[in-house]
Each structure stands twice: as structure tokens, then as C-alpha cells.
Amino acid sequence: MKIHSLFLALLFLLPAIGNASEPSRGIFIWSFEEKPVLSSETKIHEAIVFAKQHGIKTIFVQVYRSNKSWFASKVADATPFYECLKSVGQDPLSLLIKEAHRQDINVHAWLNMMSLGGNKDARILKKYGPGILTRNVQKKRRLEDYKIDNQFFLEPSDPRVHQELLTIVGELLHTYPTLDGIQFDYIRYPDVHPFYGYSPDNIRRFKKELGVKQIVEENPAWKQWKRDAVTHLLEDLVVKVRLISPRIHISTTGSLAYTRAYEEALQDWPSWVNHDLVEFVTLMNYPPDAATFAKNIIEIKPHVKGFSKVNVAVGTYKPDQTEQDFKAQWEYCELSEARACVVFHYDSLIQKPALSEFLKKSQ
């Protein structure tokens, strides 16, 4: 493997790691493109060939986001699935799984859980109204007032949200029994200008359970109560998955930096891997510069029992990220004792052939 000068400058930050084996490789395939991979048999085959050529062992394919599904859901809006079904001529996810398995590549379904994106017409929102959205203490006069970072976020503690998401996950797993894994993304509160969770039901239950009359945002008990709500949602999802597919790999994504995840997004993902609630967590480590990328990994390591339960996602999508920085990040990941290094994402890598060629040669 060729070592780049920027990577050498970062090596002093990396603790001694002994004879750790090189991590596996993965890639995210998302559905944001006008014509996503699942919309074409040709695109599906091209993605599998690309993965094989670049040493990719696991594909994380986005099949649910913004309350829309790329499988035949009766609960979520399955319009994207039926559009892809029409253009491919057969179930596109089934085809992807079948072709990937022929090349010894695993397929994990990737689901964006709490974010509805900007979808004001989401079925779950039409069904229950804005009461299922998390909120701050500011008055809400119209639906747009609930937006956070241009997204609507579901309230993790709401039992109606739990039931809808559990049903969607059940539909997916019953339809695709040969899936290798399922990864839950957006299992958290928003972290942009935080202090959310102020739904009337949350406030009522917290006051009753703790015997308090007022809620102070910086009260550690209030933050922990919401943090526990996120974990309880994940626990419900894990139970559902295990009842249907006992052997499937279960994972989540994790926010970085650690303070952001724990104090703002209220996502205690280190405890999820430390207590084997999930098999692994994929860290969304997306700074454009290599120094911050390394710093994020170093900061999180003391909080997990072993980095072998951690994937590190390396971004290729930011316009201000240089080729040199990406190479340094990738090489740092490969020596970090991570379970896997995962490219985010396939489409942006296709658009940057120099990065694609680097990955091919660095196997």
C-alpha cells in the first residue's frame, strides 16, 4: 500500500495497535439520485461489478427514507418501489441481493428512521399529524415551524412512531429473508440547535415519573430520559428483527464527534456495542480534512470496549474534500483496528475516478 505524506503526518496520532488485520470494505448506495441504482437492471449489475473490482464485501443499500420505501410496504409510501419495479421488470432489491451473493458480497438494508426529510406529505404525518414530530419550546403555528435543518424529525419516544417503524421493518424482513443485515440510520434526536423532545406527552410523562413541576434543559435527568427513549426505540427494533430473522446482522449508524452524539443528538451508541445490543455501529466520520477525521477516531476509542465492533464511514461527497485528504483518511481507517472502512457513497465515488482508482489499487 502506498503511504501518502499527509497520512505520515497523522501517524503520530495513532496508538500502537500490534498486528491488527486489515478491515473489511463496504459501500453505501443511496437513493437520492434522479435514477438510483435500484431503478435499472444495468445499474444494479454495474454496482455489483464495481464492488467486486474494489474489494467491497458489504453493500449498504438505502431502502427506506423520508417515510418512502424501495420495497412493497403497505405502511410507508412505496411509490419509489413500484417505479423501480416497472423499469427493472422484477423486484430490484431481490435482484441486487441475488447478484451480490453470486459474487460473495453481502447486502445490508439501510433505513433512515427518524428523519422524514422535507416530506410534508409523509403518510405517517398525514395519519397522526405534527404531534408525532419532536419539537423545541418555541410556538408552532404551521407545519414548517417543526422543521429542523430542513427536515421533519419524528419523536423517538412516541409509541405511535414505534409501531409504524416496527411494522415497516417487519414488512422488509418478511419480503427479503436472504438479506444479510439491516442498518438503522437516524436513531437519534436532531443535533442542530438542540433542545428537542418537548412534545406534550414527553413533558407529562417526565414530570410524572420524576415528580418534578418544571423541566430545565440542562437537567441531566431530562437529557438521560430522552437518551433512554432513543435506546428503547432501538431495543424494540432489535426484538422485532430477532423474532423474524434470528441470524441477520443488526447495526446502526453513529454520530461524531462523541460530544455531539451523547450531549446533543442524545445517542449513546457506545453503550449499544458495549452491551451487544447491536453487532456493530457505522460511524459517520465526514470532515473534509484528515486531521479532524483522525481526531474523531482517537476521541471515541476510550468509550468502546473494542474498535472491532465499529465501522468507519469515509466520505467522498463533499466538494471541499481533496483527493489527498481522502487517501489519508482511508489509510488511517485501515490502520485504526476498525471492523470495516465504508465509502459514503457509491455515486459520488463514480463521479471521482481518481478516488475510485486509488481504492482499486490499494486492495
Give residue limits of the domains in the chain.
24-116+154-192+230-361
> 224: left (phi > 0), else alpha (psi -120 to 50), else beta?
alpha
The CATH architecture of the domain made up of 24-116+154-192+230-361 is Alpha-Beta Barrel (3.20)
pLDDT in tens, the chain (363 residues): 334 444 444 544 544 343 356 899 999 999 988 789 999 999 999 999 999 999 999 999 999 999 999 999 999 999 999 999 999 999 999 999 999 999 999 999 999 999 999 999 999 999 999 999 999 999 999 999 999 999 999 999 999 999 999 999 999 999 999 999 999 999 999 998 889 999 999 999 999 999 999 998 889 999 999 999 999 999 999 999 999 999 999 999 999 999 999 999 999 999 999 999 999 999 999 998 999 999 999 999 999 998 999 999 999 998 877 889 999 999 999 999 999 999 999 999 999 999 999 999 999
Question: What is the β-pairing status of strands 68-69 and 24-29?
Answer: unpaired
**pLDDT (0 to 100) of residue 20:** 53
Question: What separation in angstroms does the CA of 50 have from each of 7, 57, 100?
Answer: 26, 11, 11
| Residue among 267, 298, 302 nearest 285 (CA) | 298
Q: Which residue has the cell 464485501?
A: 57
**pLDDT (0 to 100) of residue 207:** 94
Question: What separation in angstroms does the CA of 247 have from each of 58, 103, 165, 275?
Answer: 16, 21, 20, 18
Report the C-alpha gap between 235 and 208 in whole angstroms.
23
**pLDDT (0 to 100) of residue 8:** 44
Dihedral angle sign, alpha carbons of residues 11, 17, 18, 21: negative
Report the C-alpha gap between 251 and 240 in whole angstroms.
14
Show the beta-strand stretches assigned E in the chain: 24-29, 58-65, 68-69, 106-112, 181-185, 249-254, 280-285, 310-315, 340-344
Residue type, 5: S
**pLDDT (0 to 100) of residue 322:** 83
